């Protein structure tokens, strides 16, 4: 993959997103799209995601995050695009 075609998106998801397998859902969706990054729970009840890879794949992940797994309720998704850091080798669930 051409590095110039890669991007990074920082995503914050609010709603009923903790205790409903949301992080695992994001990890599976991201890995299925060959993305790198991490997902973790925030103390304020939100879930935070860093996703790096091909822009179309990152955009697809964001669409899936907007839906969430069956037990979740997504109220708000905020995104911030930036240059990829290259710090991630795969996509993992981070534990605070």
> pLDDT (tens digit, 9 = 90+) per residue, 18-77?
999 999 999 999 999 999 999 999 999 999 999 999 999 999 999 999 999 999 999 999
Side-chain-side CA neighbours of residue 47 (13 Å) = 31
* All domains of the chain in start order, with CATH: 3-82 (3.30.70.100)
Euclidean distance between CA atoms 71 and 52, whole angstroms: 26
Instruction: Kindly list the catalytic residues.
Output: 23, 41
pTM of the model: 0.93
């Amino acid at each position: 993959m051409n590095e110039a075609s890669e991007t990074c998106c920082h995503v914050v998801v609010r709603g009923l997103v903790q205790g409903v397998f949301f992080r695992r859902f994001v990890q599976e969706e991201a890995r299925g799209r060959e993305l790198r990054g991490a997902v973790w729970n925030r103390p304020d009840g939100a879930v935070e995601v860093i996703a790096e890879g091909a822009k179309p794949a990152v955009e697809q992940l964001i669409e899936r995050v907007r839906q969430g797994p069956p037990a979740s309720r997504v109220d708000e998704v905020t995104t911030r695009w930036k240059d990829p850091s290259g710090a991630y080798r795969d996509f993992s669930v981070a534990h605070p």
